[in-house]
Amino acid sequence: MNLSPLLQELISALRALPGVGPKSAQRMALHLLERDRRGALSLSVALEQAVENIGECRRCRNLSEREICAVCEDGTRDASVICVLESPVDLMAVEQTGGFNGVYFVLKGHLSPIDGIGPEELGLEQLFARVDQGNVSELILATNPTVEGEATAHYIAEQLQQSSVNITRIAHGVPVGGELEFVDGGTLAHAFAGRRSLKRSADV
């Protein structure tokens, strides 16, 4: 097809966006060029700035442009309650419920021996060290209710079986096999309220 090479490049670059096929990429490129060049430039700048400046929080592994993220730095939050999540998307979903006032620890994945993802890749030593330091009263395991998410939650609970920290798992409300980020806020809030202990001793 006789297209401007730069337009062709833009269309194929837009394919990097999840869920964007060739037709949508074409529509997006033409929309921006014909109707929203300012929006296109803002997006260009925002992408560059984000990629260059956003790293991960040293404390919780959440996406952050500072060494310590805004949640970890917020003195009004209860740093003794740590919610363990698979990804920053899940963190945003929980934050949006507005019902959680603790802090987070982002695994950036789940245990998956086949893909070479073990405890180290998930930063679990860092998490366990934090628990060992004391000052942590509860660890809420909010990994996805999938086979891998459950396995990861159980592995963490197992490793901390001897420590004094409370270990809970978010409960009913989150549909089995689903993913946290697609769950509505009410359901998520429910799941937090109904969390239960995973420690064998805690049930006695």
21 binds, among a copy of itself, Zn ion, none (CB under 5 to 8 A by kind): none
50 binds, among Zn ion, a copy of itself, none (CB under 5 to 8 A by kind): a copy of itself
**Which among 13-21, 51-59, 111-119, 162-170 is the span making contact with Zn ion, rule CB under 5 A?**
51-59
Structure tokens at 9: 């490049």
- By beta-carbon proximity to a copy of itself, the closer residue of 42 and 80 is 42
Instruction: Spell out a b/e string for 135-162, using b for 16 or more CB atoms within 10 Å of the CB, else e.
Output: ebebbbbbbbbbebbbebbebbbeebee
41 binds a copy of itself, rule: CB under 8 A: yes
Instruction: Spell out a b/e string for 168-183, using b for 16 or more CB atoms within 10 Å of the CB, else e.
Output: bbbeebbeeeebbbeb
- By beta-carbon proximity to a copy of itself, the closer residue of 28 and 131 is 28
Beta bridge partners of 196: 169
- By beta-carbon proximity to Zn ion, the closer residue of 31 and 66 is 66
Place of tokens 């202990």: 197
Binding residues for Zn ion, rule CB under 5 A, total: 6
59 binds Zn ion, rule: CB under 5 A: yes
Q: How far is the CB of 171 from Zn ion (least distance, A)?
A: 25
96 binds, among a copy of itself, Zn ion, none (CB under 5 to 8 A by kind): a copy of itself
CA distances from 161 to 14, 34, 131, 158, 167 (A): 47, 60, 12, 5, 9
CA distances from 17 to 6, 33, 88, 95, 122 (A): 18, 18, 17, 24, 25
Question: Which one of 1, 114, 176, 204 is in contact with a copy of itself (CB under 8 A)?
Answer: 1
Question: Which residues of this chain interact with a copy of itself, rule CB under 8 A?
Answer: 1-7, 9-10, 12-14, 16-19, 24, 26-34, 36-37, 39-51, 53-54, 63-66, 69-71, 74, 87-89, 92, 95-96, 108, 181
